[in-house]
């Protein structure tokens, strides 16, 4: 068990390079789902592995042994390090739990404070501000969000580009993209290597919205031009936009040149890279899960032996 239990803690480091290639080489919607599943799955395996490290050390304490009705000492490959290792794992679990709790409360609080006002029944809110900016403001669960755009951004785009920009932000709202970003944040709180999933996740979500905008206006060039001009207008303003809510999804987020190139078909198609990256992520998830289950089975057998249920 002691060997298998380390695998879920090491596998996330292998995922990082494959995840970076996945967002460019795979269809955006598939990349989002795979990145979200990988992050959540590896985070859960990490927590399970830490919990499995706690039990052997805790079982050597007299109070725990009495509560578990152990008639024999709980087996541990390295009895002298079992208790310190269990203490370290318990500290890490407590830190993860605290970080996840803070992140969930922070995300919920941001949604609550943002409160997009839809009392007028309008999806679009136009702010009188010369600084070009546009973003999707998600609503709380069960409530619609809102698209916020400044007059400066509207003046920077022609009518077709405005339609593409609004379709992009609408895709963020209908796809509930802020939940995927929140899931990536929560996964990152459970293992430091999973922080690297946030950037490819953000890029894949922007690509999803870009593709939705292109379908909505029926012209990929118009969508690409809208994204490029929105980013250039925001940069040329010379002053930062007004502070946005933390949960807002801005139109000019991520690597805009890569997004424009993808829309125009100038990015080199790499289906083989995408398949390899996807297979790597799935394999890492499967190996991590199998190792965690194997370690769980071994620990369960050790507990039964300690309780005298097996000779």
pLDDT band of 226, cuts 50, 70, 90 = very high
Q: What is the mean pLDDT of residues 269-293?
A: 86
What does the pLDDT look like over 227-249, one tens digit per residue?
Answer: 999 988 888 877 777 677 767 78
Task: Give the pLDDT band of residue 298 (cuts 50, 70, 90).
Answer: confident
SS3 of the chain: the string is CCCHHHHHHHHHHHHHHHHHHHHHHCCHHHHHHHHHHHHHHHHHHHHHHHHHHHHHHHCCCHHHHHHCCCCCCCCCCCHHHHHHHHHHHHHHHHHHHHHHHHHHHHHHHHHHHHCCCCCCCCCEEEECCCCCCEEEECCCCCCCCEEEEEHHHHHHCCHHHHHHHHHHHHHHHHCCHHHHHHHHHHHHCCCHHHHHHHHHHHHHHHHHHHHHHHHHHCCHHHHHHHHHHHHHHHHHCCCCCCCCCCCCEECCCCCHHHHHHHHCCCCCCCHHHHHHHHHHHHHHHHHHHHHHHHHHHHHHHHHHHHCCCCC
* pLDDT tens per residue, range 105-121: 887 777 766 665 555 55
Whole-model pTM? 0.85
**Residues 31-69: tens digit of each pLDDT:** 999 999 999 999 999 999 999 888 777 766 666 656 666
Instruction: Tell me the per-residue pLDDT of 100-157, one tens digit each, with 9 for 90 and over.
Output: 999 888 877 777 666 655 555 578 888 898 889 899 888 766 667 889 899 999 999 9
Residue 78 confidence (pLDDT)? 63
Q: What average pLDDT score do residues 256-269 get?
A: 81
pLDDT of residue 310: 55
């Amino acid at each position: 068990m002691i060997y298998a239990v380390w695998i879920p803690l090491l596998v996330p480091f292998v995922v990082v390079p494959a995840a970076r290639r996945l967002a460019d080489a795979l269809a955006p919607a598939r990349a989002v789902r795979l990145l979200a599943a990988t992050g959540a799955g590896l985070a859960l395996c990490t927590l399970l592995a830490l919990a499995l490290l706690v039990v052997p050390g805790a079982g050597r304490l007299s109070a725990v042994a009495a509560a578990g009705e152990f008639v024999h000492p709980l087996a541990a490959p390295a009895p002298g390090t079992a208790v310190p290792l269990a203490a370290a794992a318990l500290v890490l679990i407590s830190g993860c739990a605290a970080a996840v709790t803070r992140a969930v409360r922070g995300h919920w609080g941001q949604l609550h404070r943002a409160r997009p006002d839809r009392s007028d029944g309008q999806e679009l809110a136009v702010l009188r501000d010369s600084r070009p900016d546009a973003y999707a403001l998600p609503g709380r669960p069960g409530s619609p969000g809102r698209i916020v755009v400044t007059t400066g951004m509207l003046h920077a785009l022609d009518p077709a580009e405005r339609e593409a920009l609004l379709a992009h932000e609408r895709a963020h709202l209908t796809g509930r993209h802020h939940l995927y970003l929140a899931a990536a944040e929560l996964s990152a709180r459970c293992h430091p290597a999973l922080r690297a999933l946030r950037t490819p996740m953000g890029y894949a979500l922007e690509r999803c919205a870009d593709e939705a905008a292109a379908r909505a206006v029926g012209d990929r060039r118009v969508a690409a031009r809208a994204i490029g001009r929105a980013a250039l207008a925001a940069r040329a303003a010379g002053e930062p936009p007004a502070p946005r809510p933390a949960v807002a999804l801005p139109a000019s987020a991520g690597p805009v040149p890569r997004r424009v190139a993808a829309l125009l078909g100038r990015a080199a198609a790499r289906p083989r890279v995408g398949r390899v990256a996807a297979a790597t992520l799935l394999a890492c998830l499967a190996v991590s899960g199998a190792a965690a289950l194997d370690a769980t089975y071994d620990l369960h057998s050790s507990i039964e032996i300690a309780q005298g249920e097996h000779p």
